[in-house]
Structure 1
């Protein structure tokens, strides 16, 4: 069963703008399926094939004579030496949509892309299935808590039951797992972690101690939705701070983890400088932290953190799927412990949001929004509390109770 991906529209746009288009994202989120379906008339070669990889690495000058453009090269990160030849071909033919590329990692890839294909390459990010895609909705606007957005979203709305929501949070967003109830969750993620370590981490970054790297991943998953304390992480795992920083950068640039930046401007002296950390797939985070069923997770100590993580990941997907590589997302926290879970900046306006897993938000939940009114030069827009209540209603002034189905 093929689920239409919302990134298809941006892939079509980028292929008309650039000589080459790169789709990056974690393993098994559907990059190959998406690009092969879109570029169905192009040649296809995967560098997972040892013979093709050997040809790409050892004979790059002739590789594209055997695989003539338009061509889709899958797992391009294994042969970054192809980028200069892609550049030459794009410049030589001066045409669009010649090369379609995909890669599971960015940490080795991006340096070579930057050097070789600046201005010639469109880069798109694909994450796991969004809730909208899972429900097979066509609505594809980036999330923003405005009346205009809600009017559009209301036209295509499929509420999730509370139990189904937690099934999705626990199961995760990997298409194969989410769409196949008979796939074993434990086996899937055990295999996923093993493949990730063996292919992406070991081969590309030479992590020496794989057992400790997995321990590090578990420690990182246990703080999803929290402020990052790299020193504490390093101490808990038994590694140096510099190693923890390097390993975290691997998780971030391979789209396993997202670091939400604190909002800051020139007049804010009291705000914290530390980012908040979120796993981009709640199923993987649940596997690593040993929440073995949806029921155990939704009633457990980390339920609030997982709900917040899920919401943030869904909002990030809504921006990525519109081709916005750097979503304008922040959080606010100052030294007086005043905190706003999420700020979306659009046209100079800040839209504040809280995330609560319960269904009965109160005006007290948005009390911290008032801190934005005291920041010179900042305009506060409408906001609200994203929660499990079933109806979009006004909470106070322009701030609303926002059902999670409206994301």
Structure 2
């Protein structure tokens, strides 16, 4: 199995020179441990690796964290650190006494559970990074930078990519971004995702919420996947899974905590009235969505009822990953008012709002950009707009509205 270089490597090494502790979070099996073990092997400083999946190590870390850090002295890489938040106080003590950059590399698979312990103990001392399933830039070896609607930067970005047609784009969506599939370690798409749900997601959900009915949970996550790219509706998901809305809300919260799903919240300010308030639901990995919603191959997905929604999910997740891989937060929203005027993406950057529409077409029409005018009353200036679509090249309707190929994101 060949190692696939990750876009976050350069970001991690750069921040490692500045911060005494770095915490890399993200769902299981996305390559956190593999990447850090690779980077550690190239350091030549003898960084020790210890995983709290090992119950003996976990028990020591929880019951005697001071002894644990005496045995596993920095520089150290502690994997799955969420199992022993008792360590955080002692890591803080060590950091305050020594202030050496790169002493602690930490990983965790339960993002928001970890945040609580860190805010209490390691605020200002730890750099937080999030790793998602692989982006198309990583998979196909292109340089990674945050996606922005700047013509010069987009032109350079497009030069580094290979144009693909719509069927090839849906093959990428269907394939997903799990390293085990991308690297060739496994070839059976269904077997990998089935195992991923039963071995990792199901187990972690039970760990966080107590006993659950695995069959109902499968119905629940399938219903959630069927609503990707749409406004969140707890009742629809609950009815499909045969659970109550409170349970549906709790389980979605756990999927968010585990780094499986995320939300786009509606953009609003005092100048824009009659806004909807519900967020839209997205999955970090479209391959998981395709598996859960039972599409047999990329052609049926491309021609099926979910083709538009899963394309939107893919675009939004790719943009978010482009920021995550640089250690940045994407200030990304959507717009919808009660007159049903909608803009798929609003990206806020440097005091401007950049509106984007996502369309499954190679020949978009300029009228798609008319809706961008609804944000002219916002307090922020409207920046360049774009239609993100299945075109084969970068072009423009005019100086303010670009046509951007999705394969270039």
Calculate the TM-score normalised by the size of structure 2.
0.95
Number of corresponding residues: 404
Deviations 1:57-103 (A, max 9, x none): 23322111211110001111111111111111111222111100001
Q: Is 1:207–1:213's contact at 8 Å kept on the other side of the alignment? A: no
> Which residue pairs with 1:386 in the alignment?
388
> Which residue pairs with 1:66 in the alignment?
71
Q: How big is the shift at 1:397?
A: 4.1
Q: How big is the shift at 1:228?
A: 0.7
Deviates more, 1:121-130 or 1:155-164: 155-164
Q: How do 1:5-404 and structure 2 match up within 5 A?
A: 5-40=6-41, 41-137=46-142, 139-180=143-184, 183-324=187-328, 326-373=329-376, 375-404=377-406
SS in 1 for 2:356: strand
Deviates more, 1:12-21 or 1:216-225: 12-21
Q: How big is the shift at 1:182?
A: 5.4
RMSD over aligned CA atoms reads: 1.6
The separation in 2 between residues aligned to 1:153 and 1:197, in whole angstroms, is: 35
Deviates more, 1:83-92 or 1:336-345: 83-92
SS in 1 for 2:106: strand
The separation in 2 between residues aligned to 1:376 and 1:390, in whole angstroms, is: 33
SS in 2 for 1:345: strand
The separation in 2 between residues aligned to 1:76 and 1:109, in whole angstroms, is: 8
SS in 2 for 1:141: coil
Deviations 1:226-262 (A, max 9, x none): 0111233223323222222211111112111110010
Deviates more, 1:329-338 or 1:51-60: 51-60
Q: Is 1:108–1:204's contact at 8 Å kept on the other side of the alignment? A: no
Q: How big is the shift at 1:178?
A: 2.2
Q: How big is the shift at 1:174?
A: 0.5
- Residues 383/376 of structure 1: CA separation in 2 closer, same or farther (3 Å cut): closer
Q: Is 2:286–2:314's contact at 8 Å kept on the other side of the alignment? A: yes
- Residues 178/164 of structure 1: CA separation in 2 closer, same or farther (3 Å cut): farther
Deviations 1:103-155 (A, max 9, x none): 11113222111111111110001111111111112x22210111132133134
Calculate the TM-score normalised by the size of structure 1.
0.95
The separation in 2 between residues aligned to 1:242 and 1:299, in whole angstroms, is: 35
The separation in 2 between residues aligned to 1:116 and 1:173, in whole angstroms, is: 33
The separation in 2 between residues aligned to 1:173 and 1:197, in whole angstroms, is: 16
The separation in 1 between residues aligned to 2:167 and 2:183, in whole angstroms, is: 16
Deviates more, 1:166-175 or 1:48-57: 48-57
The separation in 2 between residues aligned to 1:254 and 1:92, in whole angstroms, is: 33
Deviates more, 1:116-125 or 1:139-148: 139-148
The separation in 2 between residues aligned to 1:33 and 1:129, in whole angstroms, is: 13
SS in 2 for 1:226: coil
Deviates more, 1:347-356 or 1:199-208: 199-208
Q: Is 2:138–2:144's contact at 8 Å kept on the other side of the alignment? A: no
- Residues 104/283 of structure 1: CA separation in 2 closer, same or farther (3 Å cut): same
Q: How big is the shift at 1:49?
A: 1.8
Unmatched 5+ residue regions in structure 1?
none
The separation in 2 between residues aligned to 1:362 and 1:300, in whole angstroms, is: 23
SS in 2 for 1:26: coil
The separation in 1 between residues aligned to 2:167 and 2:385, in whole angstroms, is: 26
Q: Is 2:163–2:393's contact at 8 Å kept on the other side of the alignment? A: no
